[in-house]
């Protein structure tokens, strides 16, 4: 059984983005693991396992435009079903 069910991935396009600040926000405000927040001041790639992907999306929309959003149910995938 997985502790965090949803693999959440997206891109954030904006201005003056700070990957370290975004990483710190995730660590202090969201339950999850496998965090990846990388990029530059105009584009950040997010990868995060969580049970509340909607909270991740809500936060990321405050930073800029979000797109290429993928949320996959890893529990379904582990059972051979489409995630």
Residue boundaries of the structural domains of the chain: 6-77
Token duo for residue 36: 């990846």
| Residue 80, Ramachandran bin (φ over 0: left; ψ between -120 and 50: alpha; else beta) | left
Q: Tens of pLDDT along 46-64?
A: 999 999 999 999 999 999 9
CA gap 43, 18 in Å, rounded: 9
Average pLDDT over residues 24-46: 97
Mean pLDDT of the chain: 95
70: which strand partners? 9
Instruction: Evaluate if residue 31 carries a pLDDT over 80.
Output: yes
**Bigger pLDDT: 1 vs 71:** 71
Yes or no: is domain 6-77 CATH 3.30.70? yes
Confidence of residue 79 (pLDDT cuts 50, 70, 90): confident
Instruction: Evaluate if residue 83 carries a pLDDT over 70.
Output: no
């Amino acid at each position: 059984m997985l502790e965090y069910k949803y693999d959440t991935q997206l891109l954030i396009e904006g201005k003056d983005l700070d990957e370290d600040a975004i990483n710190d926000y995730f660590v202090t405000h969201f339950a999850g693991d496998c965090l990846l927040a990388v990029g530059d001041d105009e584009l950040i790639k997010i990868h995060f396992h969580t049970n509340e992907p909607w909270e991740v999306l809500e936060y990321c929309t405050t930073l800029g435009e979000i797109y290429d959003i993928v949320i996959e149910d890893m529990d379904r995938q582990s059972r051979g079903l489409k995630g």
